[in-house]
Amino acid sequence: MQLFHTLRELRAFLDGCAGNRIGFVPTMGNLHAGHCQLVSQAKNRTDIVVVSIFVNPLQFGANEDFGSYPRTLQADVEQLRAVGADVVFAPGVDEVYPDFNGQDLMQQVIVQPSSLADILCGASRPGHFAGVATVVTKLFHMVKPDLAVFGKKDYQQLMVIRSLVRQLNFGIEILGMDTMREPSGLAMSSRNGYLTAQQKNQAAQLYAQLQGMRTALQHGRRDYIALCQGSISVLKQQGWQVDYVEIRSQLDLSEPSEDETELVILAAAKLGSTRLIDNCEVNL
């Protein structure tokens, strides 16, 4: 397995792999079994798998956890070796953002995603998806993959990236993989590491609410607003600070009509200072 920190090294290697299908898994590191599953899926479908590890400053708000986000390159590299990745690309900020001094965003070329990015997490984290769209666009230009794999835990992110790829004519196949969960049902996430042992037990409550809502929808409930309000009240009673619990259309995250059959329940809520997101598709 190769580890590169510069674009020059990465391109020198990949240019020598002409004729191979390139699979790509972009990450911010601090890898867990969910990331490893994305790599395995990429391996099953392509010849050479590149994994990027880059904590992207542009997608964090001023009061968010960019500074404290866990950076565990050595352990990540070992996991990726074990799972059979071919290349790890771990660039520095200067490599990805050549003119960025960490302050002046006005000097940056920013990729502005479609209005999909303005709702749900985009409403509470202004600029977040523009940061994601910008870094993913840059990484796609650097790696030039045939296939890129993303987790469905970041459901809205996956939809923003699909629309980015379609509208910017990238010609890259995007594969979305189901969320890997702890035995408790808690979605695997690098941010779970911020939780205390007690909070980690409690965190499974979020997915339990989504599952309860899915069952209610499967039994014919269509009072979406009341269903969401019910879960929000329970979560608040359990000590969560709820950002949103919403039922949306899988197609475009719009508010669904009563006869819509492909729904997704999405939630974001904080336990202490840790913001967790989760979702659950419902196919009726």
Which residues are known to be catalytic?
35
**Burial per residue of 237-276, b for 16 or more beta-carbon CB atoms within 10 angstroms, e otherwise:** eeebebbbbbbbebeebeebeeebeebbbbbbbebeebbb
E strand or H helix at 35, and its extent?
helix 33-45
Considering the rule CB under 6 A, would residue 186 count as an interface residue with ligand PAF? no
Considering the rule CB under 6 A, would residue 23 count as an interface residue with ligand PAF? no
Using the rule CB under 6 A, give the single segment among 3-11, 41-49, 132-140, 271-279 that binds ligand PAF: 132-140
Instruction: Tokens for 150, please give them.
Output: 């993303």
Binding mask 67-106 for ligand PAF (x = CB under 6 A): ----------------------------------------
Considering the rule CB under 6 A, would residue 56 count as an interface residue with ligand PAF? yes
CB of 189: closest distance to ligand PAF in angstroms? 10
Instruction: Tokens for 42, please give them.
Output: 């990429």
Considering the rule CB under 6 A, would residue 202 count as an interface residue with ligand PAF? no
Pick from 88, 132, 143, 271: which binds ligand PAF (CB under 6 A)?
A: 132
Using the rule CB under 6 A, give the single segment among 92-100, 131-139, 229-237, 269-277 that binds ligand PAF: 131-139
Residue 154 or residue 243: which is nearer to ligand PAF going by CB? 154
Spatial neighbors of 118 by CB under 8 A, at least 6 apart, are: none
Pick from 36, 88, 120, 135: which binds ligand PAF (CB under 6 A)?
A: 135
CB of 63: closest distance to ligand PAF in angstroms? 18
Pick from 4, 27, 80, 138: which binds ligand PAF (CB under 6 A)?
A: 27
Considering the rule CB under 6 A, would residue 231 count as an interface residue with ligand PAF? no
C-alpha 211/C-alpha 209 separation (Å) is 5
Name the residues that contact ligand PAF, by CB under 6 A: 26-28, 56, 59, 132, 135-136, 154, 157
